[in-house]
Amino acid sequence: GKGTGVVYASILTLGPPTPPQAVTAVQRFKTTDGGVTWTALSPSLGGLEKRSWHLLLAVTPGDDNHIFANDAYFLNESTDGGTTWTQADAGIGYLSFINHFDWVNMAFDANGNAVATADQGVFLYNLNSQTWTNLVGNLQVSEFYTITLDPKNAEVAYAVGQDIFAEKFTGQTQWNVMEGSINETGRVLVDPHNPNQLCAFNPLDINNLVRQSINAGVTWNTIFSSSLLSSSLQALYATQAGGSGG
């Protein structure tokens, strides 16, 4: 900001000191006198972000009251110093069913616009028009966990990657997200006799452990869910793997 003595701070609140010591809240504060007194900001709009390395709090250079703060996969914007909030990143993702950008940091360019980084790349936010521009360009920022080749077509491949879910390569530079398939872990398998038949393991979602597509990834349905597991295994899975994921 442009003021003297104006500082914003985020504080993680931890639960009881018995393992695992979980984050129970994120609190944000503002001081206008260099830290002599502090005022709590209003609660933000998204879900709890428990990871300290994913906490974002930024103040625009020209206005001490214009600030940004993130929640889990959710970016908040305030023009009154955190008294009220709006969502800044609604509808900018490349998946229709989830707001998935995993925000990490924000700075401001020479024009005063916000440049934000997320696990999926770099983005510019125009403060006046409230529009986003993807700056990823030719940066190689995708991390694939698994990759599967089509045994009958060298120009077709399937991959599962961090924060990008399951994607399909069809010979072009750009990979295409297969919506409704699986989350960001697991693996896609191709039937060697019928390449249109796909199966995918979805270990972070107990309700959709195995998904199937009969049209090369266009549509998917669940063929193995938690209902087929014993109650004791379901309880163990929920403890070890976090239950239903996303």
Give the C-alpha distances (Å, rounded to integers) separating 130 from 89, 92, 178: 9, 11, 29
pLDDT of residue 227: 82
Contact at 8 Å (CB) between 118 and 75? Answer: no
Contact at 8 Å (CB) between 27 and 42? Answer: no
pLDDT of residue 244: 40
For 209, counting Cβ atoms within 10 Å of its Cβ (0-12 exposed, 13-18 middle, 19+ buried), the class is buried
Residue 146, CB-side half-sphere exposure with 13 Å CA sphere: 16
pLDDT of residue 101: 82
The 8 Å CB, 24+ separation contacts for 70-73 are 70/46, 70/103, 71/26, 71/44, 71/45, 71/46, 71/47, 72/46, 72/47, 72/48, 73/46, 73/47, 73/98, 73/99, 73/100, 73/101, 73/102, 73/103
Which token pair is 5? Answer: 């003595």
pLDDT of residue 243: 41
pLDDT of residue 155: 93
Q: Give the residues of the chain that fall short of pLDDT 70.
A: 1-3, 17-21, 94-99, 238-246
**pTM metric for this prediction:** 0.73
**In sequence order, what are the beta bridge partners of 160?**
146, 166
How many residues are there in the chain?
A: 246
Contact at 8 Å (CB) between 172 and 188? Answer: no
pLDDT of residue 58: 95
How far is Cα 50 from Cα 22, in angstroms, rounded to an integer? 8
Residue-wise pLDDT for 200-210, tens only, equals 998 888 888 89
How far is Cα 59 from Cα 167, in angstroms, rounded to an integer? 36
